[in-house]
Structures are given as structure tokens and as C-alpha cells.
Amino acid sequence: MSAKEVVQKFYKSDALIDSEVMKDFLHPEVVVEWNSSKGFIQLDYNSLLNLSNDLSKAYVRSKVRISHIIAENDVISVRYSHFVKTIENPREEMLLAHFMVIWQIKDNKLFRGYQMSQLS
């Protein structure tokens, strides 16, 4: 599988709200540097699994709409919007945030991520 296909498969999956699925995509030494409208955080393997668990408690559905994806060897740039459905209102899809992320793939897993986001 190409690096681009790994990233596409990740965002098409339920990994963002299912930590068991998330495990399949993460390299054991993964690090994500995330600049958001709330500040900077650095996430490792366990932090990303915890984030997925936290999202699963609030949302019943998660959908990513990729608008741009560019691949160069093992580095993939993705621009996407993340939509969710809440437990309280599962019929209404809400825009959670817009994201831009650069992924480095190693051993067919997400290895390094450099992400920026803005809440909708």
C-alpha cells in the first residue's frame, strides 16, 4: 500500500472515534505536533488513543471530507473538514473543525504528524 493510500484509508475508517481501529494505523513511536485555535499540544501513541476514546464518548459518527491530498514519497499533505454526529442529536451532522496535516509514513503506519486546525 502506498503512503497516500495509508492516509486515505485512515481518514475513511472510524479511527478518530474508535481506538481499536486507531491502533492499526499508528506507528508505536508516533508523534503529532498540533497547533490549534486553543494552542499547541504534542501527542504520542497513548495520547492519540486517549483522544480517540474521548471523541467516542461524545460522538456516534465521524466523517472526514478531504478536499486536498498531495503525496511525495513517504510524506502526505491533507486538507480536510471533520464532521460529527453527537450522541444527543445523531440525525444532525455538525462541522467540528477544519484541518491541515502533513503526515510522514513509516512501516505503512502514521509516524510523524504536523497538524493545524481551526474550530468551525
Residue 26 lies in a domain: no
Residue 37, in any domain of the structure: no
**CATH code (residue 82):** 3.10.450.50
pLDDT digits (tens, 9 = 90+) for 32-82: 999 998 899 999 999 999 999 999 999 999 999 999 999 999 999 999 999
**Residue 117 counted as domain residue:** no
* 65 part of a folded domain: yes
Domain count, the chain: 1
* CA end-to-end span of the chain: 33
User: What is the domain extent for residue 91?
Assistant: 1-12+44-109
SS3 call for 120: coil
Cα–Cα nearest to 11, from 113, 120, 118, 119? 113
The whole model's pTM is what? 0.93
Q: Do 84 and 96 touch, CB atoms closer than 8 A? A: yes
Domain-located, residue 24? no
